[in-house]
Amino acid sequence: MLPPLPSLDDEYREKGYPFIAGVDEAGRGPLAGPVFAAAVILSPDCGLPLNLDSKKFSPSRRERLHDEIVSTALAWHVARVESPVIDEINILMATMRAMVQAVKNLNPTPGLVLVDGNRSPFTEAHSRAIRKGDQLSQSIGAASILAKVRRDRVMTEYHATWPQYGFDRHKGYGTREHLEALTRHGPCPIHRKTFRGVKEHC
């Protein structure tokens, strides 16, 4: 078996960036609930797996990794933007806002910010948008896990208030079960009323 590829973080550390923040989001696509963004600064000897892409792990494994990340990271923060704001400013701008909030709350301040995807909200020179960054950067992968776990927890909590939608199972995504529940019950306060699949019932 081939050894794992080195994290992109190591390449940037060698270029003179000791504090690198990885940033990722969770919840851009669902029809309900907040969008979350996490920012994480890891040390090179944190002992975490190099590939922390949240999509590769089961929910129980993500929960365990979440706890490892928050206990070993040099700094981390998770921010969220709620559904009414998403409807007001659109999901892209809401995601960017959450990312900025997450990074602003880091201490130490990162010298470089690596953002998963093709767009970064950070206008300063020392930021990079990395396609498939959650697979290439250990810190972005760590951020993807924090954002995903925190959002899943919140959607499970919402299920207790609105059990008719099944938020504990689909986490707000537009599954058949969710769309049928919207047809029967209409939207609840956490639904994104500008999203297709929801706005038809408003």
Q: Model confidence over 77-132: pLDDT tens digits?
A: 999 999 999 999 999 999 999 999 999 999 999 999 999 999 999 877 589 999 99
CATH number at residue 57: 3.30.420.10
Helices (H), 15-137: 59-72, 83-89, 91-104, 133-136
Q: What is the pLDDT of residue 4?
A: 46
Q: Is residue 91 part of a domain?
A: yes
**Which residues fall within 8 angstroms of residue 100, CB to CB, at 6 or more apart?**
121, 122
Q: What is the pLDDT of residue 74?
A: 98
The secondary structure of residue 32, as a DSSP letter, is: B
pTM for this one?
A: 0.93
pLDDT digits (tens, 9 = 90+) for 139-188: 999 999 999 999 999 999 999 999 999 999 999 999 999 999 999 999 99
- Phi, psi of 22, rounded to the nearest 5 degrees: -95, 140
Q: Is residue 178 part of a domain?
A: no
When computed from its CA atoms, the radius of gyration of the chain, rounded to whole angstroms, is 17
Tell whether the model's pLDDT for residue 53 goes beyond 90: no
Q: Is residue 182 part of a domain?
A: no
CB hemisphere CA count around 21 (13 angstroms): 29
pLDDT digits (tens, 9 = 90+) for 1-46: 333 455 899 999 999 999 999 999 999 999 999 999 999 999 999 9
Domain count, the chain: 1
Tokens of 129: 């948008």
Q: Is residue 99 part of a domain?
A: yes
The whole domain housing 152 covers: 8-158
Q: Is residue 196 part of a domain?
A: no
Answer yes or no: are the C-beta atoms of 34 and 192 closer than 8 Å.
no
Q: Is residue 122 part of a domain?
A: yes
Q: Is residue 112 part of a domain?
A: yes
